[in-house]
Structure 1
Amino acid sequence: MDVADATTVGWAAPGTYLHRLTEAARDELRAMAPRRRAEPGDVLIHQGALEHHVILLHGGISKVTALTSDGAEALLAIRVGGDLVGEMSALNDRPRSATVTACTPLAYSVIRRPHLQTFLARHPAAALALAGMVADRLRWANQFRVEFTAYPAKVRVARVLVKMALAYGRRTPAGLEIGFELTQSELASLCGAAEVTVQKALRDFRHDGAIVTGYRTVTVTNLDTLRKAADLHGAL
């Protein structure tokens, strides 16, 4: 199923919180609060806000960003249907550490912390799944820091493109189109590279026939070639 088709059908991508739950727990959590809709650019969570609910994404794609000490916006992660966001403030009673913004039309629900706590007490396996999700996100962040220092910028750009194409790609006659608008500055932020470096890497990948680019879109046309550039050939 294409991510772009997920807004109205309650799709849960592998690795998301909903995907980790039993069918009964998944249905209960989905029915816990009324669904809302957001359009691209709508902010679901504001960095620094003193609030403690979580947001369950039923479909669509959102991005997680944070302001750095020099005022720049850093892209931290992409979240899709089935993901839970805002869990850190719900767990540790601290202000929001990041902003969550809709990248595509999406469906979501707001789950208040007392309701989440009751749900987790009633479903111990769901509490373990939440802990596992938080651990996986921490592991991803640690891996990102390792790759930031261990690999050249061009390799990091290729790795991010491979991961996003496999996780969020929409199959088209040309290849896997990353299913949301992604600016070069956002891609640079996610890769930990300068924007001019990302521009050069994309130009090289286009020349090698690995990708084609359009206005804020990237389509992976040769996944094997991009995997080789990412030093991932045969690893995925």
Structure 2
Amino acid sequence: MSEKARLKRGQVLYRDGEPSKLFYRCETGLLRVVKVTTRGRPITVRHILPGDFFGEEILEAKPYQHSVEALTRSTITSFQIDELSEHLMRQVAVSFSDQLRRAMLHEYHLQIGDLRERVIRYLLELVDTPLGGENEDNDLYLRCTHELIAEGTSSTRESVSKIIMDLKQEGLIETGYRQITLKNLDVMKVMARPPMVQEVQ
């Protein structure tokens, strides 16, 4: 029988190498799929948004190939493998098609432009997830750390911190504890070029 569970921010649901026992769907919040490099550096492989299925290794009876961590308070539903009806599998297929598209777009962004452009693109990507929000001045913001941005842009925390400081000095963003506010969205979209979703189908 499927069961719902709540995850705290920073909680790891399962780790790379653990036996796959359940299949999951994210109901609320934001999670990320993480792989650790041979040098011990975590890399964000993809984000898991509400409606996304994950834990696909169980479909092949393989151990989990990545770790999954909650970036916000999240709610998930777990399924036993024998609960995956034909109707549910159709939903799974649509979900993984969408996740593949997003993962390919994310990988494209990592390969194009310098680190400054990659950081700006990642900020624009994250602001449209449950990490993002809108304040009373109608400015978009996101709750994240420099370390999270570094792991999502295949960079280092020190390099990201310098770019964040430069963007702040240029008046493009404001920073607070675990929060970045985007003050000039139109300029940042131009700086993030090559263009994003609309030109990468």
TM-score norm. by structure 1 comes to: 0.73
Distance (Å, rounded) in 2 between the aligned partners of 1:51 and 1:235 = 33
Aligned to 1:84: 53
Structure 1 equivalent of residue 136 of structure 2:
173
Q: Out of 103, 128, 152, which is 2:71 matched to?
A: 103
8 Å contact kept, 1:148–1:156: yes
Letter in 2 for 1:173: E
- What is aligned with 2:35? 66
Query: Cα gap change, 1:104/1:234 in structure 2, threshold over 3 Å: closer, same or farther?
Result: closer
Give the 3-state SS of the residue equivalent to 1:197 in structure 2: helix
For 1:194, the aligned partner's letter is T
In the alignment, structure 2 segments of 5+ residues that lack a partner are none
Q: Is contact 2:174–2:180 with CA below 8 Å preserved after alignment?
A: yes
Distance in 2, matches of 1:228 and 1:114, equals 48
Cα 1:70–1:83, aligned 2, differ >3 Å: closer, same or farther?
same
User: Where does residue 61 of structure 2 map in the other structure?
Assistant: 93
Note the C-alpha offset of 1:172: 0.8
Aligned mates of 2:89, 2:9 — CA distance in 1: 31
When the two chains are superposed, the root-mean-square deviation of aligned CA atoms in Å is 2.3
Q: Which runs of 4+ in 1 moved over 6 A?
A: 233-236
Change beyond 3 A, Cα 1:40–1:127: same
CA distance in 2, matches of 1:128, 1:191: 32
Distance in 2, matches of 1:149 and 1:110, equals 34
1:45-71 CA-to-partner distances (Å, cap 9, x unmatched) read 221111141122221222221211122
Q: Is the 8 A contact 2:30 2:129 kept in 1?
A: no
In the alignment, the residues of structure 2 paired with residue 133 and residue 102 of structure 1 have an alpha-carbon distance, to the nearest angstrom, of: 19
Query: Which residue pairs with 2:8 in the alignment?
Result: 39
Q: Which of 167, 171, 190 lines up with 2:152 in the alignment?
A: 190
* Residues 1:195 and 1:42: Cα distance change in structure 2 (over 3 Å): closer
> Percent of counterpart pairs with the same letter?
24
Structure 1 alignment gaps of length 5 or more: 1-31
1:1-236 → structure 2 map (5 Å cutoff): 33-86=2-55, 88-116=56-84, 119=85, 121=86, 123=87, 126-168=88-130, 169-174=132-137, 175-178=139-142, 180=143, 182-231=144-193
Structure 1 or 2: more helix by fraction: 1
Between the aligned partners of 1:233 and 1:79, the Cα distance in structure 2 is: 23
Q: Secondary structure at the match of 2:35?
A: strand
Aligned pair in 2 of structure 1 residues 167, 104: CA closer, same or farther (>3 Å)? Answer: closer
TM-score normalised by the chain length of structure 2: 0.84
